[in-house]
Structure 1
Amino acid sequence: MPTIPHLLLAATGLALATLASALPAQGSPPAPDEAARGKAVFRRHCAACHGRGPGDDGSPHLPGTAALAARYQGSLPGALEERADLDTETILYFVRHGSGPMPMFRKTEVSDADVGAIAAYLATSAASRQK
């Protein structure tokens, strides 16, 4: 009979395998339909804070974009759509844990596959801006 640690290990392995199958492979270009879906998910859940500005209050950036721009002081763009350094695992961490005023999102709000699609969109968006 399996022990609880063995069951937890098996469940963790299954969860990681499921996540890996839902995310695009690193180094491979994202599928156009995945990037398009990611753009829709980004607009629905992320753009209100992390999109390109201006904000409703007349500020040049939206709150998340402004906070990241202040944090990076020009070394990285504040707008996530201009960042080429964000991989799926990084985005997934911040989506699940939040950061400062950014709330965490449950899998029922933003699925792991949605996060993979967001990563595909951001990679495509950043690449198109670098041309």
Structure 2
Amino acid sequence: MKSMLKSLAAVSVWVAMAQSGWAAIQDTNQLPQGKHVFQQWCAACHAPGHAYPGTVALEAKYKGALPDALEERTDLNPQMVKYFVRHGVTIMPFFRKTEISDSDLAALAAYLTKGKK
């Protein structure tokens, strides 16, 4: 019985590690799709440069304390990205699931957060 419990515990640890590794692989695989979603839906306002209203707004807000271009940020987390995409903020519109699907949103969040959890 004791050896059976040890085996079960070892399998549980292995499964958890495998799932963790699989999640990291999935995030890595999402990055190209996330970049595509960014280019299609976000770059018109958030690409680097002074011609993009979202970038200019973030430059005014953060005054150099944080990068103004979203692709250069390191402080974003997936939940934040998903919240702003689904709910909008100030003049940024929200995006429906019919525009940016949940899987595309997950890929976008992975791309903008460099795969952070």
User: Same fold per TM (> 0.5)?
Assistant: yes
1:91 and 2:87 correspond: no
Q: Conserved in 2, the CA contact under 8 Å of 1:42 and 1:118? A: yes
Share of identical aligned residues, percent? Answer: 53
Figure out how many residues of one structure are paired with residues of the other and give that number: 93
Structure 1 runs (4+) deviating above 2 angstroms are: none
Q: In structure 2, how many angstroms separate the alpha carbons of the residues matched to 1:115 and 1:86?
A: 14
- Bigger Rg, which one: 2
Q: Is there any run of 5+ residues in structure 2 with no aligned partner, and where?
A: 1-21
Per-residue deviation, 1:124: 3.4
Q: In structure 1, how many angstroms separate the alpha carbons of the residues matched to 2:74 and 2:109?
A: 10
Q: What are the superposed Cα offsets for residues 71-110 of structure 1, whole Å, 9 maximum, x if unpaired?
A: 0111111100001111111011111111111111011111
- Counterpart in 2 of 1:63? 53
Per-residue deviation, 1:61: 4.1
- Bigger proportion of residues as helix: 2
1:76 and 2:72 correspond: no
Q: TM-score, normalised by structure 2?
A: 0.71
Of 69, 85, 105, which residue of structure 2 is paired with 1:115?
Answer: 105
Cα RMSD for the two superposed structures = 2.1
Q: Is there any run of 5+ residues in structure 1 with no aligned partner, and where?
A: 1-23, 54-59, 126-131
Q: Conserved in 2, the CA contact under 8 Å of 1:88 and 1:115? A: no
Match runs of 1:1-131 below 5 Å? 28=24, 30-31=27-28, 33-53=29-49, 60-124=50-114
Per-residue deviation, 1:123: 2.9
Q: In structure 2, how many angstroms separate the alpha carbons of the residues matched to 1:87 and 1:123?
A: 6
